[in-house]
Amino acid sequence: MFRILTRPDLLNLCYIRRFRNFAQDMLYQEFHTDSQNVARFLLTILSNKTLASRVRRVYIKEPYGYENVQPYTGSFIAFLT
């Protein structure tokens, strides 16, 4: 059911405790961002190990025509102090 929802719908479901984990799984497993917002994304996952563990793929769109770059599919490991 969650796979057919739009990103705004999933964001709204994050406010409902019962659906939060499922919605976050869908939102964070494949993350699309541009180079200007990548710092905000990294700060978010570094401050929350649960969200970081959900990330499977990150697509960063460069504004200079690097659309054919392959996504990073490795693991994100956050060391929090």
User: Is the pTM for the entire model greater than 0.85?
Assistant: no
At 63 the pLDDT is 62
Average pLDDT over residues 28-32: 82
At 81 the pLDDT is 39
At 15 the pLDDT is 93
Average pLDDT over residues 27-35: 80
What does the domain layout of the chain look like in residue ranges? 2-61
The number of CA neighbours under 13 Å toward the Cβ of 80 is: 11
Cα–Cα dist 77/25, whole Å: 17
Confidence of residue 13 (pLDDT cuts 50, 70, 90): very high
Residue 18 one-letter amino acid: R
Cα–Cα dist 55/72, whole Å: 10
Sign (positive or negative) of CA dihedral 42, 44, 48, 54: negative
pLDDT tens profile 53-63? 888 888 877 66
CB 36 within 8 A of CB 68: no
